[in-house]
Amino acid sequence: MSLVWKTTRTLAALLLLFFVVGPLLWLGVLAFAGDWRSPDLLPSTWTLQWWDTVFSDSRFLDSVVLSFTTAPLVTFISMAICLPAAYAFARFDFPGRQFFLIGIFATNAFPRFGLFIAMASLFYTLDLMNSFAGVIIVQLVGTIVFMTWIPAAAFAAIPRSVEEAARDAGAGALRVFFRITLPMAAPGIIVAVILSFLAAFDEAQGTFLVGNPDYVTMPTQMYQLIGHYPRQVSAVFSVLLSIPSVVLLLLVRKRVTGGAVAEGFQLR
Amino acid sequence: MRRRPVTGLLAIAPPVIVIALFVGLPMVSAMLYTLGDTGGLNSTIGSIAQHQHTPERGWLTLDAYREVFADESFRASLVATIVVTLVATVLVTILGWGIALYGRFHDGPLSRLLTGVSIVPMFIPAVIGAYSMLTFYAPNGMLRTIGLALGWDSAPTLSYTLTGVTLGSVWSNLPLTVLLISSGLGGVPQTLIDASRDAGAGPVRRFRKVILPLTTVPTIIAATFSAIGILGSFTLPYVLGPTARNILGPLMDDTYSAFNMPQQAQVMAVVVFGLALVASIAYVWANYRSARRSEVLR
Q: What is the DSSP string of chain B?
A: -EE-HHHHHHHHHHHHHHHIIIIIHHHHHHHHHHTT--SGGGHHHHHH-SS----SSSS---HHHHHHHH-HHHHHHHHHHHHHHHHHHHHHHHHHHHHHHHHHH--SHHHHHHHHHHTGGGGS-HHHHHHHHHHHTSTTSHHHHHHHHTT-TTPPP-TTSHHHHHHHHHHHHHHHHHHHHHHHHHTS-HHHHHHHHHTT--HHHHIIIIIHHHHHHHHHHHHHHHHHHHHT--HHHHHHS-SSS--HHHHHHIIIIIT--HHHHHHHHHHHHHHHHHHHHHHHHHHHHHHHHHHHH-
Question: How many CB atoms within 10 Å of residue A254?
Answer: 11
CB-based contact (8 Å) between A149 and chain B?
Answer: no
CA-based nearest residue in chain A for residue B27: A115
Cα(A250)–Cα(A43) distance, rounded to whole angstroms?
29
Residue A110 has pLDDT above 90, yes or no: no
Interface confidence (ipTM) of the complex: 0.88
Residue A18 has pLDDT above 50, yes or no: yes
Please report which confidence band the pLDDT of residue B294 belongs to, taking 50, 70 and 90 as the band edges.
Answer: low
Please report which confidence band the pLDDT of residue B298 belongs to, taking 50, 70 and 90 as the band edges.
Answer: very low
CB contact residues (below 8 A), chain A span 13-32, against chain B: 13, 16-27, 30
Domains of chain A: which residue ranges? 58-264
Residue A109 has pLDDT above 70, yes or no: yes
CA-based nearest residue in chain A for residue B144: A39
CATH assignment of B71-297?
A: 1.10.3720.10
Reported as a single tens digit per residue, the pLDDT across B120-132 is: 998 898 899 999 9
Option in A20, A137, A198 nearest B117 (CB) = A20
Containing A5, the helix (H) or strand (E) segment is helix A3-30
Q: Is A145 left (phi over 0), alpha (psi -120 to 50) or beta?
A: alpha
Interface probe with B: pick from A36, A83, A94, most Cβ of B within 10 Å: A94
CB-based contact (8 Å) between B297 and chain A?
Answer: no
Domains of chain B: which residue ranges? 1-65, 71-297
CATH assignment of A58-264?
A: 1.10.3720.10
CB B271 within 8 A of CB B230: no
Asked if the bond preceding B262 is cis, omega within 30° of 0, the reply is no
Mean pLDDT of B214-241: 90
Reported as a single tens digit per residue, the pLDDT across A27-56 is: 999 999 888 887 888 898 899 988 988 888
At A171 the pLDDT is 85
At B107 the pLDDT is 79
Residue B14 has pLDDT above 90, yes or no: yes
Interface probe with A: pick from B1, B10, B12, B37, most Cβ of A within 10 Å: B12
Reported as a single tens digit per residue, the pLDDT across A207-250 is: 988 888 899 999 998 888 887 888 888 999 899 888 888 888 78
Reported as a single tens digit per residue, the pLDDT across B51-83 is: 999 888 888 899 999 999 999 999 999 999 999
Residue A82 has pLDDT above 90, yes or no: yes
DSSP A268: -
Mean pLDDT of B24-37: 91
Reported as a single tens digit per residue, the pLDDT across B128-162 is: 999 999 999 998 899 999 999 898 888 899 999 99
Q: How far is B258 from chain A (nearest CA, A)?
A: 14
CB-based contact (8 Å) between B83 and chain A?
Answer: no
Please give the mean pLDDT across all residues of chain B. 88
At B282 the pLDDT is 79
Mean pLDDT of B73-98: 96
CB contact residues (below 8 A), chain B span 242-281, against chain A: 248-249, 252-253, 256, 262, 265-266, 268-270, 272-273, 276-277, 280
Contacts of A44 in chain B (CB under 8 A): none
Interface probe with A: pick from B127, B252, B261, most Cβ of A within 10 Å: B127
CB contact residues (below 8 A), chain A span 176-215, against chain B: 198, 201-202, 204-205
SS3 of residue A56 by DSSP: coil
Residue B113 has pLDDT above 70, yes or no: yes
Distances, alpha carbon B159 to alpha carbons A21, B19, B235, in Å: 17, 36, 14
Contacts of B262 in chain A (CB under 8 A): 117
Contacts of A254 in chain B (CB under 8 A): none
Name the residue with higher pLDDT: B203 or B287.
B203
